[in-house]
Amino acid sequence: MSSDKEFFVHSHALCESESIGKDTRVWAFAHILPGARLGAECNVCDHVFIENDVLIGDRVTLKCGVQVWDGITIEDDVFIGPNATFTNDLFPRSKVYPENFARTIIRNGASLGANSTILPGVTIGTNAMVGAGAVVTRSIPPNAIVVGNPAKIIGYVDAKPGSNGRESLQRSVIRGVVETSVKDVTLHTMHEVADIRGSLSVGEFERSVPFKTQRYFIVYDVPTAETRGEHAHRTCHQFLVAVKGCVHVVADDGKTREEFVLDKPNQGIYLPPMTWGIQYRYSNDAVLIVFASHYYDAADYIRNYDEFKSIIESAE
């Protein structure tokens, strides 16, 4: 470390930028161009190349063989795995440059696995995780886990499955209503009558469904790869039932995240206001009905997860 700088540059690295944060370390054969800006406590490993129009936050790890091109923003606490590849031009030609490079943003705490490829103009959400070798062609929501080519959501970080998911639904056959680890979210089993003529499930508003209902909507013909929901409501209550097929539901109160499987028409999940809800992994035949306590109001939706977290934290 030189006497006039608070960051370390290996003797075999080329660091042309002076905008490097305290205690950042740049290792052998890395090359950082003059316009790049890096925060504090970053680790830039061997053979990393960072272009000019690049903004990198604090405590970012760039493993060996990563190239960060113009138009890339990497926020705090991001991990970039070995040989992860960024792109910034959807239609590249030799010696032909776009007027502006697409802006790609990697949000706080996200991780990109080794050899993953990130197409230009996408946003990788807060705390999301991209699997090794995945090809990201569309923006990834917060906390999502994606794999494959093109990358598809297969789960959510820290969404607890198992005993509080499917097994809770089994226990609810006896108890009727089961509390979950997510604040005020409950799992319900409605009354079912089955005989030789078929089966019937019945529920009553303000009883089985624990609020007065003013609206319903039905979701169907959802491609398996698609994710719906991804929002919270300020005042609206919701009750979800998969009347056919199977749907995975993630409920998040800002501190605890849990995943549930709705796969029986006499089972439902209650999502109170200020619960971040996600529905994904729809089976091909899935039909989801949602009962809501209020008429549609666009202002009631919170569609940005960071805003949702901020509201939760400010209310404490």
Which one of 10, 12, 31, 231 is the catalytic residue?
Answer: 231
231 catalytically annotated: yes
Contact 277/195 with Cβ under 8 angstroms?
Answer: no
**Catalytic (active-site) positions:** 231
